[in-house]
Structure 1
């Protein structure tokens, strides 16, 4: 029976749930109303839920079981991290047109986006090369060049595959959303890589979410919650934010004051029974059942998540490995340790943000690059290396794919005298574990780090690589009625796969 405002009548299911559950039923009805599923599911919502129900198994044998996705917000300089270019020192201060590398400005790879410049006294634009702000050296047996700002990660380089030939199309910080969805931010939000993993694979632990977000998400100007959203896949596939705080890991799911766990268990038992009665008369209402399952998960998380964040269970040596004994490294070290603890407990995709600051991101180095990057690298280098070493010592690295990335690189040219501008033409990411060949470099930029010129990869190639290692074929993750562009699918980077 449809709601009739003239006589204040409600559907029998609504009355049954609200009255039968008392205050809990009323609270649930309010939650369902806020989520837009208080009534019968819309066809689109029902299709999403039905599609999700049919998912859960890999398409072929996977090499990895889970992913830890480390995202540096603001745009890390590839030149001062994993793709150092000595030519910048050789021609520092010279205009690009006065060097042997002047052809980069006329390259067909250069689209109509800004190039970092330095204005002369007359206001004329003069692209000049900016020297490297830190040294670098060959690391590990593989001899891969790594910045001196990453000595700890450099110690792990033989377990890492560096991809130096990424490119994207967004030259502003909407690139943060593009890096996670594969689509330019002007096209609107789309499902993120984490949500595709959630959609494609079942859970390894029914008491924890499949897709968890740690750290401060993207600012609203750069994608906001859509950076870990699911768009047309449905809200059940978006990332769930958790705090790396043993005292308050899931504030949104804390039990009401004065309500004991036994009471909540009884309430959910009754809710399932009542919903079972309703299912007989309303068999197509999959969205309501899916939403109730999400509340049941939140209930189970009340016990499972605090245990996952209990860092006191770790040895002093492990806590030191992540830098928890140091004020500089502790905040990100706690996120990385939480990521490991969640991964080993079966969470499929752990997305870890660093550098979110309510704006473009702390790594956005338009000025004072040397000071800024030095501080940010000091915050992240040891925790990331600790994560890789810890996973490896526990036998988890082979089945856990770790990805490090950022929305774009920084220009070879100077900006403001001591910074670098946004640079989408060529930048670096790296992967480790999960069936990746460590100690390898794939792709290349030109001699000043301007263009990706060898084995060029758009960001969806990274997505396709992640999905492939999880046993998922991106072309088989389609939604009926949703047309995807060819570039949306990407292609796995097979040269870095063992």
Structure 2
């Protein structure tokens, strides 16, 4: 029997206690079948009662995208040497801001007490303006200026919308968690954008996770596992860590080299019996339900995931496009290629971290910025461009939204002899595909790249844009008892929507 999925039905997507316990009688197969039927709108209609229930896995309105690939550079990429070049930094190099004709930036209406203290620097000494450390030029038919460090991505600029007017509030690397949740790290854990997508839309493939994390997660000092966590949405909406490594794709769900499949089947059968006993005693335990689902998914993943990261069945030309033929680009190229193969198979949200190093992140350029950014861009520039080109030629870019971001930018002033400090007051991100306009720039910082001064956007506006393109209204996903602030919800950046 098909259940109506209109938004006014508070029971949409809910599996009642009696139904849940009945399905447990069929073991894991019953659970998976029940989840699939429930996701597709088929269930025991007569048993559905009132009360709150999670979403039904359907978009609120017609979506422009089906999947998201979220590329996050950990540590704070320099925006002024990336996608928002500022030649004035070279023109006034060695001077303080107060010594330049641009000293009015200190009186910006977007200034804050923290910013004034930040500009003053330690012991009230203003940092000297640090010149640009690379070249840049206009690229593509759109003529958008992109630095030489990002020449390959710059070659795809006509498919990209650059947002140059981002801001956040955390001047430390807790901003990494803030970028993913919208809340300051000191306020406590909140659901990440990937978890909201998983919660709102569910899976398109029952053999793979809906929310996958590639690369090392955030360090504990910067959010740790909460950077891909679901907080109060429940553990079933956490990101699942996988490795883009054909030799060990499931380091956290592998049966081990000495385990026979028959032995593992017996283990799962035992776990199933124990979980069913616990479920009868604790029928309303969400952690238990999530654990049972995770065991079943882990069993299916052991068959599905190794095939996803088998890159030897890709053409040599495709492998080279992602940089798999070069030592410097191979690790991140494998992650980007795995992401493409995952979205092909219905993974909703693929989150790729680059630069996680157990601390603040490799992109944290307090010193030696030129050498550090040259090396890091050399690792990711070609694979990201390869991802965009490959998605486009396969017809997947239209339905796959690619987001490139970092937690903040870098200061116009120097830190030490050859670095830049954290800069949350104005920085850049970009989006491509999934119904996003290509070859456009939105927003602006001032002439020094200090403040976001035109069409300013807090980080949750990126979340809202992603959700909008997937057909989700964040207000309709709100969980009772977990009131979200208006700034948590964000607003779609409609100027970059096609």
Q: Indicate the TM-score class for this superposition, using the shorter chain for normalisation.
A: 0.7 to 0.9
| 1:39-61 deviation digits (Å, cap 9, x = unpaired) | xxxxxxxxxx9744x43111111
Residue 407 of structure 1 corresponds to which residue in structure 2?
Answer: 407
Residue 81 of structure 1 corresponds to which residue in structure 2?
Answer: 82
Q: Structure 2: how far apart are the matches of 1:278 and 1:384?
A: 46
TM-score, with normalisation over the residues of structure 1? 0.86
Q: Structure 2: how far apart are the matches of 1:437 and 1:218?
A: 30
Cα deviation for residue 485 of structure 1 reads: 0.9
State whether residues 234 and 287 of structure 2, in contact with CA within 8 Å, keep that contact through their aligned partners in structure 1: no
Moved more, 95-104 or 314-323: 95-104
Cα deviation for residue 260 of structure 1 reads: 3.9
| 1:45-93 deviation digits (Å, cap 9, x = unpaired) | xxxx9744x4311111110001000000000010000000111111111
Cα deviation for residue 211 of structure 1 reads: 0.5
Residue 64 of structure 1 corresponds to which residue in structure 2?
Answer: 65
Moved more, 284-293 or 463-472: 284-293
Cα deviation for residue 127 of structure 1 reads: 3.0
Q: Structure 2: how far apart are the matches of 1:282 and 1:170?
A: 41
1:424-443 equivalences in 2 (<5 Å) = 424-443=424-443
| 1:334-359 deviation digits (Å, cap 9, x = unpaired) | 11111111111111000000111111
1:34-73 equivalences in 2 (<5 Å) = 51-52=53-54, 54-73=55-74
State whether residues 241 and 252 of structure 2, in contact with CA within 8 Å, keep that contact through their aligned partners in structure 1: no
Residue 460 of structure 1 corresponds to which residue in structure 2?
Answer: 460
How big is the alpha-carbon RMSD for the aligned residues of Structure 1 and Structure 2? Answer: 2.3
Structure 2 unaligned spans of 5+: 1-26, 29-50
1:324-335 equivalences in 2 (<5 Å) = 324-335=324-335
The change in CA–CA distance for 1:282 and 1:449 in structure 2 (over 3 A counts) is closer
Residue 111 of structure 1 corresponds to which residue in structure 2?
Answer: 112
Residue 154 of structure 2 corresponds to which residue in structure 1?
Answer: 154
Q: Structure 1: how far apart are the matches of 2:181 and 2:276?
A: 37
Q: Structure 2: how far apart are the matches of 1:411 and 1:109?
A: 16
The change in CA–CA distance for 1:275 and 1:369 in structure 2 (over 3 A counts) is closer
Q: Structure 1: how far apart are the matches of 2:121 and 2:342?
A: 46
Residue 477 of structure 1 corresponds to which residue in structure 2?
Answer: 477
Tell me if 1:134 matches 2:134.
yes
The change in CA–CA distance for 1:94 and 1:354 in structure 2 (over 3 A counts) is same
Tell me if 1:225 matches 2:225.
yes
Residue 176 of structure 2 corresponds to which residue in structure 1?
Answer: 176
Tell me if 1:196 matches 2:203.
no
The change in CA–CA distance for 1:449 and 1:234 in structure 2 (over 3 A counts) is same
Partner SS for 2:137: strand
Cα deviation for residue 107 of structure 1 reads: 2.0
Tell me if 1:377 matches 2:380.
no
State whether residues 119 and 126 of structure 2, in contact with CA within 8 Å, keep that contact through their aligned partners in structure 1: no
The change in CA–CA distance for 1:310 and 1:99 in structure 2 (over 3 A counts) is same
The change in CA–CA distance for 1:50 and 1:88 in structure 2 (over 3 A counts) is same
Residue 247 of structure 1 corresponds to which residue in structure 2?
Answer: 247
Cα deviation for residue 185 of structure 1 reads: 0.9
State whether residues 66 and 400 of structure 2, in contact with CA within 8 Å, keep that contact through their aligned partners in structure 1: yes
Q: Structure 2: how far apart are the matches of 1:208 and 1:184?
A: 31
Q: Structure 1: how far apart are the matches of 2:370 and 2:119?
A: 17
TM-score, with normalisation over the residues of structure 2? 0.86
Cα deviation for residue 105 of structure 1 reads: 1.5
Cα deviation for residue 266 of structure 1 reads: 6.6
The change in CA–CA distance for 1:360 and 1:116 in structure 2 (over 3 A counts) is farther
Partner SS for 1:429: strand
The change in CA–CA distance for 1:124 and 1:289 in structure 2 (over 3 A counts) is closer
The change in CA–CA distance for 1:286 and 1:406 in structure 2 (over 3 A counts) is closer
Residue 39 of structure 1 corresponds to which residue in structure 2?
Answer: none
The change in CA–CA distance for 1:282 and 1:411 in structure 2 (over 3 A counts) is closer
Residue 356 of structure 2 corresponds to which residue in structure 1?
Answer: 356
The change in CA–CA distance for 1:331 and 1:103 in structure 2 (over 3 A counts) is same
Number of matched pairs = 448
Residue 346 of structure 2 corresponds to which residue in structure 1?
Answer: 346
State whether residues 117 and 414 of structure 1, in contact with CA within 8 Å, keep that contact through their aligned partners in structure 2: no
Q: Structure 2: how far apart are the matches of 1:211 and 1:303?
A: 18
The change in CA–CA distance for 1:288 and 1:117 in structure 2 (over 3 A counts) is same
Q: Structure 2: how far apart are the matches of 1:442 and 1:238?
A: 32
